[in-house]
C-alpha cells in the first residue's frame, strides 16, 4: 500500500524533530522543510540514528513564495504538519515585524501552494498562549481567545483565523493543536531541545544551571496567587506531544474530523509551579539547581493547565509520561551536549 507522504515544516526543530521520529515509526514517508535559522543539521543525524531511516530534507525559507510553489510541484504531499515559525515571546516584543513576516506570510504561502496542488490535510502548531490568562482552570477549547500579550501569541491567533477562513472556501481540513508547555527529550538523547543562545524557556535554563553552564536560575516571581507563589504551567513531555500530531493526522487522513477546522488542547491536565518543577528535577536527577527569586517577567500569566477531555475522546490520545520522565530525559539530553 502506498505510504502517505507528509511534509513537516520546521521538522529539525524541537517538536518537529520528535514528530518526524513518530511519523517514521508509524510508517509514513516524511519530507522536512527547514531554513536552519534556529536549529542545526545534526538534528537530522539524530533522527536517522533513532529511526534507522532518513527523512528527505529540503533547506528552504518559506518566505520565498516561488520556492514554496516549486516544492509542491516536485513533491506529491498527502498532509502537512506546520511547525516552522519564530517562537520566542520576548524577542517578538522587540521585533514584531520579523514575527509577523516569518509566522504569517509563510503560512499564507504554504496554504496557497497547498490549494494549487490539492493538498487538503493540515495540522497547525498553535499554543495555549491564545487563551492568555484563562478565567477558568483547567482550560477547555471553549475558553475565549483573549487579546494576545505578545506579537508571538498574536501570530498564533491570526494563524488560526487565516486557516479557519481558508477552510471555508478551499478543500482543506485542518486541526490546530494548542500546546501547553513542551519539555523533555527523546529517551535516546539523540534529539532534544536545542536553545541557541541564552534559553528563554524554563527547562533548558534549569538543565544548563544544573550543568554549571549558567550560574543560577532566576525564578520570575514568587508573589503569584498560587500554592507556593510561583507561576503554574502544564508541562507535557515532547514525545507525548509528538504522538498527538500522529493521532490528529490520522483523524484527517481517515476523514473522521467533525468540522473543517478543529482545535485541541494538548497538555497533561496537571499544573506544576516553578518551585515544584525545580524540586522534581532535583529528585529525578539527584542534582542541585541554584536559583534565586527575581521579579516577575513582563507578560507572564499566573497559571495555565489543560482540560484534555476533547483530545482524549476525539483523538484517542492521552499523555502517558509524567513530569519526572520529562525532567530526567531533559537532563540526559543536557549531559550529552
* Single residue of 300, 310, 312, 325 touching ligand WQD by CB under 6 A: 300
**Beta bridge mates, 115:** none
Q: Rounded to an integer, what distance in angstroms lies between the CA atom of residue 249 and that of residue 315?
A: 10
Looking at the Cβ atoms of 133 and 337, the one nearer to ligand WQD is: 133
Could you give the angle at which helices 65-74 and 106-116 cross, rounded to 10 degrees? 30
Rule CB under 6 A: is residue 126 a binding residue for ligand WQD? no
Q: Rounded to an integer, what distance in angstroms lies between the CA atom of residue 107 and that of residue 174?
A: 13
Rule CB under 6 A: is residue 205 a binding residue for ligand WQD? yes
- If we measure between CA atoms, which residue out of 154, 304, 294, 281 comes closest to residue 209? 281
Grid coordinates standing for 37?
535559522
* Smallest gap from residue 254 Cβ to ligand WQD (A): 28
What share of residues in the chain are helix, strand, coil (percent, to 5)? 40, 20, 40
CA-based torsion, 60, 61, 66, 71: positive or negative: positive
Rule CB under 6 A: is residue 312 a binding residue for ligand WQD? no
Looking at the Cβ atoms of 60 and 274, the one nearer to ligand WQD is: 274
Rule CB under 6 A: is residue 201 a binding residue for ligand WQD? yes
* Smallest gap from residue 147 Cβ to ligand WQD (A): 14
* Single residue of 33, 44, 191, 274 touching ligand WQD by CB under 6 A: 274
Looking at the Cβ atoms of 24 and 202, the one nearer to ligand WQD is: 202
* Single residue of 233, 237, 245, 251 touching ligand WQD by CB under 6 A: 233
Q: Rounded to an integer, what distance in angstroms lies between the CA atom of residue 209 and that of residue 272?
A: 20
- Output the CA–CA distances (angstroms, integers) from residue 305 to 80, 127, 134, 188, 319, in the order listed: 27, 12, 10, 28, 13
Rule CB under 6 A: is residue 218 a binding residue for ligand WQD? yes
Rule CB under 6 A: is residue 220 a binding residue for ligand WQD? yes
CB atoms under 10 Å from CB of 134, counted, come to 20
Looking at the Cβ atoms of 102 and 129, the one nearer to ligand WQD is: 129
* Smallest gap from residue 57 Cβ to ligand WQD (A): 22
Rule CB under 6 A: is residue 18 a binding residue for ligand WQD? no
* Smallest gap from residue 70 Cβ to ligand WQD (A): 29
Which H or E run contains 246?
helix 238-253
* Single residue of 50, 134, 139, 219 touching ligand WQD by CB under 6 A: 219
Q: Judged by CB under 6 A, how many residues of this single chain contact ligand WQD?
A: 18
Rule CB under 6 A: is residue 281 a binding residue for ligand WQD? no
Q: Rounded to an integer, what distance in angstroms lies between the CA atom of residue 100 and that of residue 112?
A: 17
**310 neighbors 239 (Cβ within 8 angstroms):** no
Report 79-98 residues binding ligand WQD (CB under 6 A). Answer: 87, 89
**Beta bridge mates, 219:** 293
Q: Which residues bind ligand WQD (CB under 6 A)?
A: 87, 89, 127, 129, 181, 200-202, 205, 217-220, 231, 233, 274, 297, 300
Amino acid at each position: 500500500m502506498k505510504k502517505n507522504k507528509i511534509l513537516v515544516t520546521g521538522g529539525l526543530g524541537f517538536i518537529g524533530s520528535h514528530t518526524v521520529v513518530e511519523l517514521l515509526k508509524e510508517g509514513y514517508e516524511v519530507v522536512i522543510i527547514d531554513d536552519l535559522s534556529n536549529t542545526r543539521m545534526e538534528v537530522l543525524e539524530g533522527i536517522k540514528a533513532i529511526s534507522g531511516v532518513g527523512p528527505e530534507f529540503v533547506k528552504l525559507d518559506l518566505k520565498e513564495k516561488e520556492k514554496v510553489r516549486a516544492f509542491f510541484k516536485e513533491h506529491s504531499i498527502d498532509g502537512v504538519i506546520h511547525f516552522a515559525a519564530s517562537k520566542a515571546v520576548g524577542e517578538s516584543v522587540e521585533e514584531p515585524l520579523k514575527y509577523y513576516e516569518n509566522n504569517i506570510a509563510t503560512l499564507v504561502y504554504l496554504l496557497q501552494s497547498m490549494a494549487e496542488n490539492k493538498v487538503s490535510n493540515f495540522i497547525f502548531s498553535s499554543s495555549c498562549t491564545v487563551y492568555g490568562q484563562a478565567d477558568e482552570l483547567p482550560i477547555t477549547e471553549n475558553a475565549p481567545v483573549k487579546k494576545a500579550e505578545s506579537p508571538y501569541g498574536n501570530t498564533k491567533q491570526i494563524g488560526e483565523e487565516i486557516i479557519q477562513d481558508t477552510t471555508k472556501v478551499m478543500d482543506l481540513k485542518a486541526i490546530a493543536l494548542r500546546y501547553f508547555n513542551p519539555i523533555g527529550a527523546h529517551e535516546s538523547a539523540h534529539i532534544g531541545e536545542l536553545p541557541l543562545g541564552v534559553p528563554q524557556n524554563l527547562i533548558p535554563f534549569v538543565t544548563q544551571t544544573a550543568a554549571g553552564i549558567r550560574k543560577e536560575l532566576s525564578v520570575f516571581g514568587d508573589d503569584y496567587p498560587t500554592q507556593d507563589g510561583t507561576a503554574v504551567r502544564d508541562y507535557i513531555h515532547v514525545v507525548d506531544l509528538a504522538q498527538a500530531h500522529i493521532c490528529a493526522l490520522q483523524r484527517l487522513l481517515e476523514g473522521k474530523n467533525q468540522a473543517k477546522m478543529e482545535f485541541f488542547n494538548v497538555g497533561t491536565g496537571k499544573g506544576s509551579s516553578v518551585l515544584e518543577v525545580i524540586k522534581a528535577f532535583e529528585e529525578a536527577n539527584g542534582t542541585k539547581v541554584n536559583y534565586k527569586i527575581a521579579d516577575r517577567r513582563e507578560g507572564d500569566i499566573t497559571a495555565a493547565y489543560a482540560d484534555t477531555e476533547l483530545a482524549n475522546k476525539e483523538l484517542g490520545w492521552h499523555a502517558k509520561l509524567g513530569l519526572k520522565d520529562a525532567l530526567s530525559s531533559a537532563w540526559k539530553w543536557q549531559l550529552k551536549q
